[in-house]
Amino acid sequence: MPTLAQQHILLGISGGIAAYKAAELTRLLIKAGAEVRVCMTEGATHFVTPLTFQALSGHPVHTTLLDPEAEAGMGHIELARWADQIVIAPASANCIARLTHGFADDLLTTLCLASKAPLAIAPAMNQQMWANAATQANIATLQSRKVKLLGPASGEQACGDIGFGRMLEPEQIVQLLQADSAPLQLTGVKVILTAGPTREAIDPVRFISNRSSGKMGYALAEAAQALGAEVTLISGPVALTPPQGVQHLKVESAQQMLEATLAHMPGQDIFIATAAVADYTPAEVAEQKIKKSASELSLELKRTQDILATVTSQFPALFSVGFAAETHDLMTYARSKLERKQLQMVAANSVAGGKVFDQDTNALEVVWRDGQHSFPEMTKQALAVELMQLIAKRYQHYKDTPDAP
Ligand code: CTP
């Protein structure tokens, strides 16, 4: 069982009604074996008194930056160095904005700037404030800096609204922190990915292709390798450099991608199909350049073979992950793809209005047979790291419980 034993957790509490839940969180963290020091913003002290946290943690609570008495005890730089991790719960919209912009005008933001420890935040705010583009942009920035996002949950709020913005329950926060402290590795696991677009030749100089940049697939290959996996990347034509140490195969057409994928599939453990494979290819490829003549030209196209479905039918024991790009009814289509192609997971993104392709950020809804997870918009690199960790967790579960969904 993963543990928080002996971890030094600096618990930051910002101003919001959910501050009262931080008392239970302090108790549960200590029960899980952590050593907890508490830092409250001025706003937080209007909701709960520092004395509550002093009694629960057994240590004086830190509230102000320029407090000679506190600095004489454990000064703020010392406290920043002491922390193995910083957890801010609740993290208000204001606190999130200030962290994003690197403020250091109160103790909590100063500690965050002065510490090398990983930072996790549990947002708590009104649903409209959470949905606001400013907050979402701040969250994306923080996540791109590897700040861990814990929640928020959806439900009824203190103000009477219903929606996303509720702080996770203290038990859930502790569970997530415990899960994170578990060493999650893919050492010895073989991961194969397809990435990028395919090119379907019309004649020696022309082809049909799509806007896929391959960024997500390449970032996932890198993230899998960082977890210790042995990675094979089968890529259509893209303008990217493959990560060092990854076995990289270049292909052009859907047929070539199918053949290369099948040839490298024996012995693989995880297959991640991020490629935007052409669904149709010219029925015939002209041997010579087609010269213009008539005012209209029709091209006859035929269906390509579905690489992912072919792989899952030939290698049913493989842990297979598909991607879905949809303009509407994201979850419904993602779930039907899961069944139809016999996959363990589907990662779906919205391409309404042509977004996603060739962009540096993305958001994903991930579904599996008995669960789902939403990743808010963040850089494709940050998203790949988070998604790969989720894939590793689900893969572990799949190996541990072969009969489970
Ligand atoms: N895929 C594949 N081979 C194909 C087509 C798709 O491996 N010939 C994979 C993609 O890499 C992706 C998933 O299948 O992981 C996408 O499924 P698909 O049903 O093709 O998605 P859409 O193109 O969105 O489907 P539709 O045409 O139904 O909108």
Q: pLDDT of 41-81, one tens digit each?
A: 999 999 999 999 999 999 999 999 887 777 766 788 889 99
- Rounded to an integer, the average pLDDT of 93-117 is 96
Q: Which residue has the higher pLDDT, 200 or 380?
A: 200
- pLDDT at site 129: 96
- pLDDT at site 111: 96
CA 285 to ligand 1 centroid distance, Å: 23
| Ligand 1: nearest atom to the Cα of 323 | 15
Instruction: Determine contact, residues 327/352, Cβ cutoff 8 Å.
Output: yes
- pLDDT at site 402: 60
Share of the chain above pLDDT 90, in %: 73
Ordered by where they begin, the domains of the chain are 8-181 (3.40.50.1950), 190-400 (3.40.50.10300)
Is 56 a pocket residue for ligand 1 (Cβ < 6 Å)?
A: no
Is 325 a pocket residue for ligand 1 (Cβ < 6 Å)?
A: yes
pLDDT in tens, 134-154: 999 999 999 989 899 998 988
In this prediction, residue 378 has a pLDDT band, given cuts at 50, 70 and 90, of confident
Q: How many helices (H) and strands (E) does the chain have?
A: 14, 19
- pLDDT at site 246: 95
- Rounded to an integer, the average pLDDT of 10-35 is 96
Q: Is residue 357's pLDDT more than 70?
A: no
User: Which positions are catalytic?
Assistant: 159
Q: Is residue 126's pLDDT more than 60?
A: yes
CA 322 to ligand 1 centroid distance, Å: 8
DSSP E strands: which ranges in 274-330? 280-282, 301-303, 319-326
- Rounded to an integer, the average pLDDT of 220-242 is 95
* Ligand 1, atom 12: closest residue by C-alpha: 323
- pLDDT at site 401: 66
| Ligand 1: nearest atom to the Cα of 305 | 8
Q: Is residue 270's pLDDT more than 90?
A: yes
Q: Which two tokens stand for residue 73?
A: 């005890």
| Ligand 1: nearest atom to the Cα of 254 | 8
CA 223 to ligand 1 centroid distance, Å: 23
- pLDDT at site 86: 97
Pocket test of ligand 1: the residue of 277, 318, 330, 387 to mutate, having most ligand atoms within 8 Å of its CB, is 277
Is 120 a pocket residue for ligand 1 (Cβ < 6 Å)?
A: no
Share of the chain above pLDDT 70, in %: 95
CA 277 to ligand 1 centroid distance, Å: 7
Single-letter amino acid code for the residue at 201:
A
CA 394 to ligand 1 centroid distance, Å: 22
Instruction: Determine contact, residues 249/260, Cβ cutoff 8 Å.
Output: yes
Q: Is residue 3's pLDDT more than 70?
A: no
- Rounded to an integer, the average pLDDT of 152-177 is 88
Is 323 a pocket residue for ligand 1 (Cβ < 6 Å)?
A: yes
Burial code (b: 16+ CB inside 10 Å, e: under 16) for 361-377 equals bbbbbbbbeeeebebeb
pLDDT in tens, 173-209: 998 898 776 667 899 999 999 999 999 999 999 999 9
In this prediction, residue 299 has a pLDDT band, given cuts at 50, 70 and 90, of very high
**pLDDT, the chain, mean:** 92
Q: Is residue 222's pLDDT more than 50?
A: yes
- pLDDT at site 361: 86
Q: Which residues make beta-bridge pairs with 349? A: 325
- pLDDT at site 69: 73
- Rounded to an integer, the average pLDDT of 298-317 is 97
In this prediction, residue 226 has a pLDDT band, given cuts at 50, 70 and 90, of confident
Is 304 a pocket residue for ligand 1 (Cβ < 6 Å)?
A: yes
Is 224 a pocket residue for ligand 1 (Cβ < 6 Å)?
A: no
- pLDDT at site 158: 81
Q: CA-based angle 248:250:255, to the nearest 5?
A: 125
Nearest-angstrom CA–CA distance, 339 and 367: 11
Is 324 a pocket residue for ligand 1 (Cβ < 6 Å)?
A: yes
Q: Which residues make beta-bridge pairs with 234? A: 194, 249
Is 217 a pocket residue for ligand 1 (Cβ < 6 Å)?
A: no
Q: Which residue has the higher pLDDT, 362 or 231?
A: 231
Give the number of other Cβ atoms within 10 Å of residue 162's Cβ: 11
- pLDDT at site 182: 64
* Ligand 1, atom 25: closest residue by C-alpha: 324
Q: Is residue 1's pLDDT more than 50?
A: no
Q: Which two tokens stand for residue 344?
A: 């363990």
- Rounded to an integer, the average pLDDT of 288-299 is 93
- Rounded to an integer, the average pLDDT of 14-22 is 96
